[in-house]
Amino acid sequence: MTDRLIIDVHVLQNVPPSNLNRDDTGAPKSAVYGGVTRARVSSQAWKRATRRYFNGRLDPSELGVRTKRVAEILAERITILNPSMEGPQAWAVAAEVLQTATGSKIEPPKRKADAAKKNGESEPAPESSYLLFLSARQLDGLAELAVEGAADIKAFCKDKDNKARAKKIADTRHSVDIALFGRMVADTADINVDAAAQVAHALSVHRAETESDYFTAVDDRNTEAEPGAGMIGTVDFNSSTLYRYAALDVDLLERNLGAGLDEDESPATPVRRAVEAFVDGFVSSLPTGKINTFGNHTLPDAVVVKLRTSRPVSFVSAFEKPVRADEFGGHMEPAWARLADYIPQVERAYGDQATETWILHIGPLTEKDSALGTEVDSLTRLVETVGAAVAARLEQRG
């Protein structure tokens, strides 16, 4: 039996006063763990931050777009291929092809259509009823298909072979972000994509309290005869040392990406790029909730990456008992000490199924002596080393 390839990423990160991820009341999200309230940043918030980080790291052709306005995006590609088709004509052709490929109803939203009719405006562009996630390569393929059948698009899409072609285009050559984070198409389950990456909710390693900042804003045009604030309000925030965890199923990632984004590449090449983008993006990214208010731009103090051969393993249980600040204050040093002690205990008890471990840490607070793994001196080096190790193992398999 071939061993699985799993990458685990463990991160300790200090976040000063901030509100990275709000609940329905505007307060920072929280969770009870170990009997005490912790600061929490949802997995969805950090997955989106990671996906947005890809925009500066990967070529647009390797990424996808998730939107209800997918017909407009496809219509733009159709117009590029055939400039005589634009506006409503291109929208109609795009909608028909998308409905064939995904099974989703694509039509102008009733609210927008009614408003346009009332105001004497032209009908708005069609949209899907929920977010559709398609890769750039899939959109390019669907645009070519649409142009081919544009003369009578309805009859063209009713043809059995053309239907199969449309669905195949929508279910092959997935982008890196679709392969990593998955895709659900409610109306056509057979083109769903299982996510290769799993991201846990980030939790503070200690008890966290929500505080409230009372603020005022002064009207710049006020005179001395008009004292007082032009606006007053409050904003909730907290501070935390977070334990963040993500797992990446390399085997599923390889299946999702297929033979590769480029047919001339080794199968390991697109997987390596995706692995490196994910490790870099997950470690470096930060959700942007209230970022202008708090400017909480921090990077992790400690990162542990493990290449495993059985199943993902989170070490969040190291913090089930909340960490207390030491006599000099601060949670990072005792949190790292707790994690460095806990990891070897788990691996002794259950067997060390990590073939390789790499550690990136900053400063004396995370220098506890341990045999956790190989230290690397930069994130760039960490990302390249993990990517190379994954590529080597995939190539060994043939």
Tell me the C-alpha distance between 260 and 263, whole Å.
6
d(CA 74, CA 148): 14
Summarize pLDDT for 4-37 with one digit per residue, the tens.
899 999 999 999 999 999 999 999 999 999 999 9
Q: How much is the pLDDT for 1?
A: 46
Average pLDDT over residues 144-150: 94
261 pLDDT higher than 70: no
Q: What is the 8-class DSSP label of residue 324? A: P
Q: Which residue has the tokens 């969040």?
A: 316
Could you give the CA distance from residue 128 to residue 329 in angstroms, rounded to a whole number?
Answer: 52
CB 310 within 8 A of CB 391: no
Q: If you average pLDDT over every residue of the chain, what do you get?
A: 91
pLDDT tens sequence across 149-188: 999 999 999 999 999 999 999 998 899 999 999 999 888 8
CA atoms of 121 and 104, how far apart (whole Å) = 26
CA distances from 340 to 34, 163, 315, 346, 373 (A): 19, 55, 10, 11, 11
Q: What is the pTM of this model?
A: 0.90
Nearest in space to 365 (alpha carbons), one of 296, 283, 301:
301
DSSP state of 186: T
The first and second tokens of residue 259, run together, are: 């033979």
Length of the chain: 398
Task: Please tell me the distance from the alpha carbon of residue 297 to that of residue 208, in angstroms, as a whole number.
Answer: 19
Token duo for residue 140 = 């390019």
Alpha carbon distance 253, 372 (integer Å): 27
Burial of 369 per CB tally in 10 Å (0-12, 13-18, 19+): exposed
The total of other beta-carbon atoms located within 10 Å of residue 233's CB is 10
Q: In the Cβ-directed half-sphere of 97, how many Cα atoms lie within 13 Å?
A: 35
Give Rg (Cα) of the chain. Answer: 25
Contact between 260 and 30 under an 8 Å Cβ cutoff? The reply is: no
Determine what percent of the chain is predicted with pLDDT higher than 90. Answer: 74
Range in 67-81, 151-165, 325-339 with the lowest mean pLDDT: 325-339
Report residue 199 as tokens: 């991201």
